[in-house]
Amino acid sequence: MCLVPTTSPTSVYRTIEAGAESWIARSHPINTGSRRKRYSFWENTQYMAEGSAVRVVGIDLGTTNSLVAFMQGDQPTIIPGEDGDRLVPSVVAFDADQHGFVVGNGARATLLKDAASVVYSAKRLMGRGVEDVQEELKLFPFKLVEGLAPGDVLKLEVGGLQLTPPEISAYILLQLKMNAERFFGAPVTRAVITVPAYFNDAQRQATKDAGRIAGLDVLRLVNEPTAAALAYGLDKNRDGLIAVYDFGGGTFDISILKLHEGIFEVISTGGDTHLGGDDIDNLLIAIALDDIAGDADLSIDKDAIPTGELVQAVRKAVIEAKIALSEADETKLDAQLPNGKQYTRTITRAQFEQLIAQTILRTARPCVQALKDAKLTAEQIDEVVLVGGSTRIPAVRALVDELFSLSARGKKPHTELNPDEVVALGAAVQAQILAGANAGSALDDLLLLDVTPLSLGIEALGGVVARIIERNSTIPASATQHFTTGVDGQTNVAIHVVQGERELAKDCRSLARFDLKGIPPMVAGMARIEVKFLIDANGILHVSAREQRSGKLAEIEVKPTYGLTDEQVETMILASFDHAEEDLDARQLIEMKNEAETILTAVEKGSSHAAWQQLTSDELAQIAACVNELKTSAAGSDYKLIRQNIEQLDKATRRFAELMMDTEVMSAMKGQTMDAAGESMGADVIAPHAFAKAEFEEDTVAEEKT
């Protein structure tokens, strides 16, 4: 039976080397070992010496890209991945037969040839139920496991495996953990992970589960807008009201913060955990697929369900066009379809902005509500910080300008820090604070006061919601409310914990249910039941219920409907230990095979280049022999042999690389004077000294002879 409230809530507490570079390395971006920034043993030793006993990293687990950072002195610094890139695409490719996986750029390349074995944007699925994701899955290459019932943990069919979103996210976190451990030369086991401010309890718990599966002790979950403010706050060190507009790949957040004497106090937050750049991509993908189906020349059955490879080819073209339109007024949406046909369409920025207008407008309402909750007007906001790759879209920046009246007040939004990196930088700041800042550090006086994004309560008699902790309450937070029984002789009460802003429990998200049993029988209304809610610094909820007359107590750490049990998480962790060695071998084999395939394709294309004809017969024979050896090894399962054959082919094609470079330079300078050629190189050419006109002295001896 449900509870009856007795009183109102009380006690609320709250990375080019000089010289000729390998042609393969230029043709194959993944093979960038000679170009990536290297850190000396001395540097790494220094980093390890800086509080190595309490090393804590900051992680931005993003929908599109993820990053890991640490504090180098008083400056947060991004740790590059094994390919030298700072951003690690949040994409995972699986090989069920080999028990292997690849995370990042390698996995993204697999999307175009084997879409069903790749998963991306898993963050959008964290803590969600079957009924929440049906519409979205239509454009994803992966499918749900059959037979899932409402309330079951979401499982996906990917590459012959069945995986939950926290498990998939754990692979991304594991890659970031490996990047950090390679950088430091020491184990990394503790982290601060950022989450969207509007993540509910289920989504936060799913993120912590992912961290545990990856072998990380998650010290704190920090709201992404708050982390961004921390990153900027170190440089600004000023008082005022800050709005953080965070429009990423899969989520949107807006947070209003008050910065005063090093205290970052979040006073309101809002957003949409299912609104981001993915929605813009999906809109354009749907339009392009309709366009393709209506073009008879492309030979695509308009009634057939688009294949995963087709969708991914179009998705790649859409994303490239979206990025180009942030700078250009017009671009081509150019996709190589799986049947070999080419789909090309010109799109202008005006058309693009018209198509996405309603999507980006959806960010306005949460902004207005956040200002209202903070009891502020747009004109009272001193600074606006832009976070997330989607904020590079000019139309988005124009909307932000309008929402906060920036131009009218002679202001501009802050974009000094890379919007893709700022959240990870802030997470590194919070990580160092938790690890214990060095005495005299700029972090000494920083204090972070975050808030809970949604109200929390229980279902009371009649299905109404009795709110116990209101949204935008500073966390940690604690609150109690008293209830009584509604029926004579009632000895058992069901506690139904919900989260949301609706008045009826059926319209809110159910978080947990538990029973308080053994209440002495008494007249309805006589029992006095105290329900206490406690939200910890991660935003995770703990609930207890006590009948005060008898002292009977029941309590629970809320395990959300779509979360994982401790047994499930433990099983996943043990499985990762059991398969660790074979997983690593399989992963290296997959990576070497992918690299071999790309290099062989590059050599085949290079054979049609003019420079190829300048090679001697011996050189051509050597290249051909190396190609055959690489093809043979790539068909096998010895990744070390594949790597050795790649290096041999690299060495065999080195002179070709030099000839090709010479040919390209001569072609570019053909018919030009030296002056003209120098000018055509532009102002951005970097040279050891400034270019100057050649000076010639007259040959006076020759003149005398004539």
Question: For the chain, which residues make up each domain, given as ranges?
Answer: 4-12+452-568, 39-275+416-449, 277-359, 579-666
The pLDDT, as a whole number, for residue 570 is 59
Q: How far apart are CA 666 and CA 156, in angstroms?
A: 54
Q: Catalytic annotation on 83?
A: no
Q: How far apart are CA 425 and CA 153, in angstroms?
A: 32
CATH superfamily of 277-359: ATPase, substrate binding domain, subdomain 4 (3.90.640.10)
H-helix or E-strand containing 579? none
Helix or strand or coil: residue 96? coil
Q: How far apart are CA 274 and CA 200, in angstroms?
A: 12
List the structure tokens of 658. Answer: 């030099």
List the structure tokens of 516. Answer: 């308080």
8 Å CB contact between 271 and 242: no
CATH superfamily of 4-12+452-568: Substrate Binding Domain Of DNAk; Chain A, domain 1 (2.60.34.10)
Q: 464: which DSSP letter? A: B
The CATH code belonging to domain 579-666 is: 1.20.1270.10
Q: What b/e string do you get for 215-226 counting C-beta neighbours within 10 Å, with b at 16 or more?
A: bbebbbbbbbbb
Q: Which residue among 167, 246, 459, 595 is the active-site one? A: 246
8 Å CB contact between 233 and 223: no
- Report CA dihedral (97, 100, 102, 106) to the nearest 10 degrees: -50
Residue 50's nearest CA partner among 474, 428, 592 is 428
List the structure tokens of 23. Answer: 């042609």
List the structure tokens of 328. Answer: 């250009």
Burial class (CB in 10 A: 0-12, 13-18, 19+), 96: middle
User: Amino acid identity of 467?
Assistant: R
Give the number of other Cβ atoms within 10 Å of residue 439's Cβ.
6
Q: Catalytic annotation on 123?
A: yes
Q: Catalytic annotation on 50?
A: no
Mean pLDDT by 10 residues, the chain (706 residues): 43 24 30 31 36 74 94 89 90 76 87 85 85 74 82 83 91 94 92 89 88 91 87 66 91 87 81 87 89 71 65 89 93 85 90 94 93 93 92 95 94 89 92 68 56 82 82 82 82 86 80 84 83 80 84 72 58 61 70 82 84 88 92 90 91 86 69 50 38 41 39
The CATH code belonging to domain 39-275+416-449 is: 3.30.420.40
Alpha helices in 254-339 (DSSP H): 277-293, 308-324
Q: Catalytic annotation on 675?
A: no
Q: How far apart are CA 654 and CA 383, in angstroms?
A: 53
Q: Which residue among 85, 167, 209, 224 is the active-site one? A: 224
User: Please, which residues have CB within 8 angstroms of residue 153's CB and are 6 or more apart in sequence?
Assistant: 164, 562, 563, 564, 568
The pLDDT, as a whole number, for residue 188 is 93
Give the number of other Cβ atoms within 10 Å of residue 307's Cβ.
16
Q: How far apart are CA 393 and CA 280, in angstroms?
A: 11
Burial class (CB in 10 A: 0-12, 13-18, 19+), 523: exposed
The pLDDT, as a whole number, for residue 567 is 62
User: Please, which residues have CB within 8 angstroms of residue 208's CB and are 6 or more apart in sequence?
Assistant: 193, 218, 221, 538, 540
Q: Which residue among 82, 85, 95, 123 is the active-site one? A: 123
Q: How far apart are CA 389 and CA 90, in angstroms?
A: 14
Q: How far apart are CA 591 and CA 303, in angstroms?
A: 37
The pLDDT, as a whole number, for residue 306 is 63
